[in-house]
Structure 1
């Protein structure tokens, strides 16, 4: 279930209570008159089944509470209540299949920002990938896959395309477009220093086959895996099954390909550098395409179930 806290002008409190009382998936209704200080107003709290949350939020936004008050939402991990059990049973559908669009837009908008934290993770992930390449360590390559933060902005691109939120698309594209080249540049510099310091040998890298050669070997399965990963990742985001995202992270070779390309370029192996760059491009495009298709399908489902679009455009993050 989800916990809602609403700050509303006193003259709209009855309307808010009417929305929540009429919703079969809502329970644990609490009214605190005059408790809101900034913004000022009454505070209404309720627990809502996930599958009913999207419709409740739409009705609350129709009351302009997002402008004249406040609506906050958080996930409830445990609810020991017969009333909560009844509310979830009465709500149509299944919580795991429900998409809370406001939550998805806010979450993807936050994870698509180009900031110091995002760039730091990107650089660390590429450096880990470079270490895995020069030491021929698949385990380190997997570690780089998990650390890489690139799925957030890729998912945000899909959300922006489906919901026609071009500001979100631009922000996410900026994060990817700046994040990868900058991380690869830092990795190339570190690789050059490593070679000069004798940490690895150019001849060994350019020699016989290695266990991590799969990183730059682009082919049909590169696209297939990227499509499957993008679909699984978007399903995980929209169904709140975040544990599945770990499998997404370690199934695609975005960050490893970037790290491999940087190392190969420094060591003068341009064939591997170009192949790795192609691998990176295929994975990025495949993830976005699959995530967009999955989200578009779920969006069409939600619209057909609600009788059409009735939501305002929301600010991302």
Structure 2
């Protein structure tokens, strides 16, 4: 529900009141005394759905929107207002669709000044880099909360469908700048961490779980960004929690951008390419989803003559986003299929090992573990070998067991694979135990 205050230029009073009277709007008039070529001030409540059509009619009466003030109203007690609400409820469905004018204002409101925007992104990049290097999901989430990405991520699409070129241009510029700032800051922080010897585990930076899931993106990664774009527009147009949706949008952009910087700082350029591909896909997905959602919701420019050019602009950008997503999704299909094949291979290998170990001849086996070792070629990683670790009480490796495991796997798997069997010999001595790892030469 909104409360509007309109300052009427001299000579336009009858035109404005005619629009309000035709719509059955109950208003209050007062004189305008600033002596700035305005004669009256009119105030009236409107349901959300009525704001846009009424302002469009007033615009046709040459009332500039720069002298229109729109305020949130808690409630209105008036029989006349109930009639207006029913008139604009579209068959009784009292939706809370935000007007085009308020939507523009919201997009601008959630876009901070350039200096604040850059400072907040630098802080967010520092937190995200620390969270990824420390493998801390809680810290990574914290970086999303403080990232001011909601306004820029949605402003471009709002500008496209409403014909606001300045808003569209600012939205795209802020998005590109935001990603560049986070990547640049993460590269610098990553280099400092590397020089300080803070490499997690001291072996492979990409083995960190929070990083690994972002350098080999799958098709499911796109769903996060698409959902963020749709939810972002709905939050602005239907009054949902913008803060929560802002975190969702940041989740699609901040950690992957930081992952690009970290992996680049460590010289893992294949992994950096995978993370950067995820960043671009998420950017396209957010903008595409927001654009389509706005158009379906019925947002259009003000004048009738603006509809056709804006429709062409919307179709043009939708085509660019769609083609970009299709082209970048091709490698994602390969990565997704690779992940499915690896999961299937692991399940088949575990089944094969379980079938052998379950025999009575191997009661001395305490437990076993099957691990798929993949090559380091990011973003698509092929299988290098299957490692089977067996922990039992029998001393030394069992050549017969090793052969049976390999034969069972060969029968289960479609393609030959290198199998490595490791034995951990456990010897219990009272309340203490000692373990010795005895590797078996790879088979296959």
Q: Indicate the TM-score class for this superposition, using the shorter chain for normalisation.
A: 0.7 to 0.9
Q: 1:72 aligns with which of 49, 69, 93?
A: 69
Tell whether 2:156 aligns with 1:161.
no
**Contact 1:133–1:260, Cα closer than 8 Å, also in 2:** yes
Residue 106 (structure 1) shift: 3.2
- Give the corresponding residue for 1:60: 58
d(CA) in 2 for partners of 1:274 and 1:109? 33
Q: TM-score, normalised by structure 2?
A: 0.61
Over 3 Å counting, the alpha-carbon distance change for 1:269 and 1:39 in structure 2 is: farther
Alignment RMSD, CA only?
Answer: 3.0
**Residues 117 and 41 of structure 1: is their aligned pair in 2 closer, same or farther, counting only changes over 3 Å?**
farther
Of residues 34, 47, 50, the one that matches 1:49 is: 47
- For residue 123 of structure 1, report the CA deviation from its aligned partner: 1.9
Q: What does residue range 128-139 of structure 1 map to in structure 2 within 5 Å?
A: 128-139=127-138
1:96 partner SS:
coil
Q: Cα–Cα, structure 1 residues 265 and 202, in superposed 2: closer, same or farther, change >3 Å? A: farther
Contact 1:236 1:245 in 2 (8 A): no
CA distance in 2, matches of 1:173, 1:247: 19
Say whether residues 1:284 and 2:280 are aligned partners: no
- Segment of structure 1 superposing worse, 157-166 or 261-270: 157-166
Write the distance in 2 (CA, Å) between the matches of 1:19 and 1:213.
Answer: 60
Change (3 A) 1:39 1:73: farther
Counterpart Cα distance in 1 of 2:243 and 2:231: 8
Question: Pick from 5, 16, 31: which aligns with 1:33?
Answer: 31
| Cα shift readout 1:123-179 (whole Å, capped 9, x = no counterpart) | 222222111101111122222223222232221221233234333322222112222
Which residue of 2 is the match for residue 253 of structure 1? 252
Aligned residues of 2:182 and 2:254 also touching (Cα < 8 A): no
- Contact conserved, 2:16 with 2:58, CA < 8 A, in 1? yes
Aligned ranges 1:293-304 → 2 under 5 Å = 293-299=292-298
Q: CA deviation at 1:35?
A: 3.8
Q: 1:100 maps to which residue?
A: 99
Cα distance between partner residues in 2 of 1:95 and 1:124: 42
- Deviation above 6 Å: which 4+ runs of structure 1? 310-313
Residue 261 of structure 1: how far off its partner (Å): 1.1
Q: Which residue is 1:124 aligned to?
A: 123
Q: CA deviation at 1:250?
A: 2.6
Gaps of 5+ in 2: 310-444
**When the two structures are superposed, what TM-score results if normalisation uses the length of structure 1?**
0.83
How has the CA–CA distance of structure 1 residues 193 and 43 changed in structure 2, closer, same or farther, with 3 Å as cutoff? same
Query: Structure 1 residues 209, 256: closer, same or farther in 2, change over 3 A?
Result: closer
The whole-number CA distance in structure 2 between the counterparts of 1:232 and 1:270 is: 33
More helix as a share of residues: 1
The SS at the match of 1:177 is helix
1:253–1:280: 8 Å Cα contact kept in structure 2?
Answer: yes
Post-superposition offset of 1:112: 5.0
Q: What CA deviation, in whole Å up to 9, does each residue of 1:72-113 have, x standing for no partner? A: 11222x125244555434432345352411122233245457
SS of the equivalent of 1:254 reads helix
- CA separation in 1, counterparts of 2:28 and 2:127? 50
Match of 2:304 among 280, 292, 309: 309
Q: Would the alpha carbon gap of residues 263 and 150 (structure 1) be closer, same or farther in structure 2, given more than 3 Å must change?
A: same
Paired with 2:54 and 2:187, the residues of 1 have a C-alpha distance of: 51
**Higher RCO, Cα 8 Å, sep 6+:** 1
Distance between the aligned counterparts of 1:123 and 1:205, measured in 2? 26
CA distance in 1, matches of 2:155, 2:112: 10
Q: 1:205 to 1:38 in 2, by over 3 A?
A: farther
